[in-house]
Amino acid sequence: MGKKSAILLVSLVFFGAISFAQTTFKDDNVPYTFEIPEATWKITVKPSATNPTVEYVYGNRTDGHLEIRRIETSANEFLSELIEKEKEQKLQFLPGYVAGKEENFSGALSGKVFNFEFIRAGRNMSGRFYYLRADEKNVYVLRFTGERDKLRLIRNQLDMIARTFKVK
């Protein structure tokens, strides 16, 4: 086997393993799906007919935690306004809270991403919240939190989950 053939074989095995590890989250109790990039993500809260909450952790809660919520809005409410409300009502009360920047985001649904930092149990934590508009009345918020350095390492996975998030 030549050097080029060996590299091609290794590449195919590597990328095949990556795509094989991906799974799709879908549940009859919620109207959306998304891709889970690797088996390290474990579901901790499953949706039910009475509670549509979905939560995942990456290894453990401090490494990465995902919570998905739906917010009802009016058609003319901007995503920046929703972010401001969340900052005023919840986030600013986190110990050591430091607001980051908002970014535009596009995937299966378009929206905004809001980054921030805070302290929990003496650890530097960060949050990356994706506000994705499903229609004129509904916005889904994918709330990722975790230790700052660990969340930074899996940011590509956070983006992938948000990019593949779509309403059925």
Domain 23-167: which CATH class? Answer: alpha beta
Give residue-wise pLDDT tens across range 49-70: 999 999 999 999 999 999 999 9
What pLDDT band is residue 9 in, cutting at 50, 70 and 90?
very low
Residue 165: partners with Cβ closer than 8 Å, 6 or more residues away: 32, 33, 34, 107, 108, 109, 130, 132, 140, 142
Report the side by side order of strands in the sheet with 32-36.
23-26, 32-36, 166-167
Average pLDDT (65-80) is 94
Question: What pLDDT band is residue 22 in, cutting at 50, 70 and 90?
Answer: confident
What's residue 1's pLDDT?
A: 55
pLDDT of residue 2: 55
* pTM for the structure as a whole: 0.86
pLDDT higher than 70, residue 8 = no
Q: What is the pLDDT of residue 15?
A: 46
Residue extents of the structural domains in the chain: 23-167
